[in-house]
Amino acid sequence: LAVLRAFFFYVVTFAVATPILLILLLQLPFVLLFDKHRRRAQHVWNTVWARLSAWPFYRVEMTGLEHLPPSDCAAVYVANHQSFLDITTLFHIRRDFKFISKTSNFLIPIIGWTMYLTGHVKIDRMDSRSQMQCLKECGDLLSSGASVLFFPEGTRSKDGKLHAFKKGAFSVAAKRKVPVVPITLQGTGELMPVGAEGRLFSGTIKVRVHPAVPPSQAVAMMAAAQAAVASGLPRDKLGPDVLRAVQS
């Protein structure tokens, strides 16, 4: 049943994305002229895609929405990364942002093209120049009023546990003097585990938005954000490096 559910999930995901791609193409000249950096109209259609893709297959339970900064406030959002479902789930937070995503995702037919048209930011984790370019692009977006969303662990967790954050997202936030908004995702890794993308189990994914971390030094912001995300997870979902930090 999980295999069949995953099959139909991908069918719906691509079926919904196809007309949305055409809409994004039609909108693009106006978006580039009037809203080049935030591309709010494009984000709306990304949200429609994500919600329609998720709705038949799993539920999303949101808490902490009162902690979201005003919609016109640029911020760095950070979340733990467990599954492909993190993408469709995070579009439920009612704020526009640009994902940081690996370059290969932009090559996926239809889905990758919509990512490009929306202005999401690509990164090659194996290329230091690409990493520097990504951070520069994120800084420019923040200065232009757009928000960005990082998975600061750097990649999906292979064991389902939260691992130590990397500094990049917080360096950008500190330099541009914007808040960091920590978000805990719970359940995506159980519904579609890493390495088992051909199966999708039913259930509820919990999204918890934590109070924003005000601008300060990058290391301090990183520690505060990691502690906040960890606070929304059971202790058995914390990696040893994070567990040591929580206990210290």
Q: CB under 8 Å to 113, separation ≥6 — which residues?
A: 21, 106
pLDDT at position 204? 98
The mean pLDDT of the chain is 96
CA distance 194 to 160: 8
pLDDT in tens, 172-206: 999 999 999 999 999 999 999 998 999 999 999 99
Long-range contacts of 176-179 (CB under 8 A, 24+ apart): 176/74, 176/139, 176/142, 176/143, 177/215, 178/73, 178/74, 178/75, 178/76, 178/142, 178/215, 179/69, 179/73, 179/75, 179/76, 179/212, 179/213, 179/214, 179/215
* Confidence class for position 126, pLDDT limits 50, 70, 90: confident
pLDDT above 80: residue 47: yes
* Confidence class for position 127, pLDDT limits 50, 70, 90: confident
Give the count of domains, the chain.
Answer: 1
pLDDT at position 247? 81
CATH code: domain of residue 22: 3.40.1130
Weakest-pLDDT range from 41-45, 137-141, 158-162, 199-203: 158-162
CA distance 106 to 217: 32
* Confidence class for position 237, pLDDT limits 50, 70, 90: very high
Mean pLDDT in residue range 47-65: 97
pLDDT above 80: residue 248: no
pLDDT at position 34? 97
CA distance 95 to 186: 20
Percentage of the residues of the chain whose pLDDT score is greater than 70: 100
Instruction: Provide the domain limits for residue 142.
Output: 2-247
Mean pLDDT in residue range 130-140: 95
pLDDT at position 192? 96
CB atoms within 10 A of CB 178: 22
